[in-house]
């Protein structure tokens, strides 16, 4: 699916366990499945729409040496269900942080997760101390021809029942040239999981309704780092350029080697960048 979630919307379906260590209970409102590692200042990691919280596996062990790292599965991904109700991902995250006793966090979002991070900063601004946006999505940006072509091909494959083909298309589209076999296998596993949940839910009624949250970049008032990939689709490079212009004081970093999922393509390089930014290092570098 597209990292912005616009081609195939998640539907209401239960999520089978994936072996995660912590799953908050569901009781009328979803408290998201999550992992909570380390101690210190809180960092919230939000996954891409082609992924779930497992996408952060390569960076969490080192990151959690310096920070308390919380990484949830958003609704309809990984271990988190998608009940038939109106919701906003930002409200789910606000409830999760409250349940963990976390007042605010540095929020790192990849693609769709970056869009959700911006929505959290909009709806619950006190929860966000800073933003790191990796190849982020953003509502209201005109789709580029490459994204439209991807969406049409994914739709054709799914309509034909070719889930394997749709998974392969997603891996090929979203993982950049630096991604190795293990990264490709992980993206395929996460995307297949998303299809299982969302396609099964597609036939159910009533369906969940995701509330639209309008983000005004010029109103974002926390330190923000906008990261783009030199091999990413044009839409996401356009989004990065817009945010770098419109978010006051935003720092822009282009990773010339990166596709759409740099944390899976060169985890060590992204870890170094995150540590620089999150430690408030004035000499932030682009690895």
Quick one: pLDDT band at residue 204, thresholds 50, 70, 90?
low
Helix (H) or strand (E) holding 69: strand 68-72
Residue 87 clears pLDDT 50, i.e. is over it? yes
Q: Name beta bridge partners: 46.
A: 109
Domain at 216, CATH number:
3.40.50.1820
Q: What is the mean pLDDT of residues 87-114?
A: 96
Among 23-32, 143-152, 244-253, which is the least confidently predicted range?
Answer: 23-32
Question: CA-CA distance, 236 to 111, in Å (whole number)?
Answer: 8
Residue 134 lies in a domain: yes
Residue 11 lies in a domain: no
Domain count, the chain: 1
What does residue 2 show for φ and ψ, rounded to 5 degrees?
A: -70, 145
Residue 17 lies in a domain: no
Quick one: pLDDT band at residue 203, thresholds 50, 70, 90?
low
State how far the alpha carbon of 61 is from the alpha carbons of 58, 70, 98, in Å: 7, 12, 24
Nearest-Å Rg of the Cα atoms of the chain is 17
Residue 172 lies in a domain: yes
pLDDT at residue number 144: 96
Residue 5 lies in a domain: no
Domain that holds residue 160: 22-278
Q: What is the mean pLDDT of residues 101-127?
A: 98
Tokens matching residue 64: 């959690």
Burial class (CB in 10 A: 0-12, 13-18, 19+), 141: middle
Residue 3 lies in a domain: no
Residue 19 clears pLDDT 80, i.e. is over it? no
Of 56 and 1, the one with more pLDDT: 56
Quick one: pLDDT band at residue 200, thresholds 50, 70, 90?
low
Residue 121 lies in a domain: yes
Number of Cβ within 10 Å of residue 160's Cβ equals 10
* Residue that is written with structure tokens 């089978």 in the block: 16
Residue 16 lies in a domain: no
């Amino acid at each position: 699916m597209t990292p912005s979630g616009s081609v195939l919307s998640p539907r209401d379906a239960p999520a089978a366990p994936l072996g995660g260590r912590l799953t908050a209970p569901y009781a009328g409102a979803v408290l998201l499945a999550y992992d909570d590692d380390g101690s210190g200042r809180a960092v919230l990691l939000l996954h891409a729409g082609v992924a779930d919280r497992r996408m952060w596996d390569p960076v969490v062990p080192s990151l959690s040496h310096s920070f308390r790292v919380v990484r949830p599965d958003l609704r309809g991904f990984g271990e988190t269900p998608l009940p038939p109700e109106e919701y906003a991902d930002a409200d789910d995250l606000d409830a999760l942080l409250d349940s963990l006793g976390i007042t605010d966090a540095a929020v790192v979002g990849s693609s769709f997760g970056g869009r959700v991070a911006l929505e959290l900063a909009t709806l619950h601004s006190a929860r966000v101390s800073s933003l790191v946006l990796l190849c982020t999505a953003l509502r209201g940006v005109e789709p580029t021809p490459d994204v439209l072509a991807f969406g049409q091909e994914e739709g054709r494959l799914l309509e034909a029942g070719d889930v394997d083909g749709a998974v392969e298309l997603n891996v090929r589209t979203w993982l950049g040239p630096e991604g190795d076999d293990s990264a490709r296998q992980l993206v395929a596993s996460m995307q297949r999981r998303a299809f299982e949940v969302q396609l099964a839910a597609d036939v159910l009624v009533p369906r969940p309704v995701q509330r639209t949250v309008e983000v005004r970049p010029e109103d974002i008032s926390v330190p923000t780092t906008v990261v783009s990939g030199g091999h990413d689709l044009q839409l996401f490079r356009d989004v990065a350029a817009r945010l770098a212009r419109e978010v006051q004081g935003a720092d822009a970093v282009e990773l010339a080697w990166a596709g759409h999922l740099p944390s899976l393509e060169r985890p060590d390089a992204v870890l170094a960048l995150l540590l620089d930014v999150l430690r408030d290092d004035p000499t932030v570098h682009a690895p």
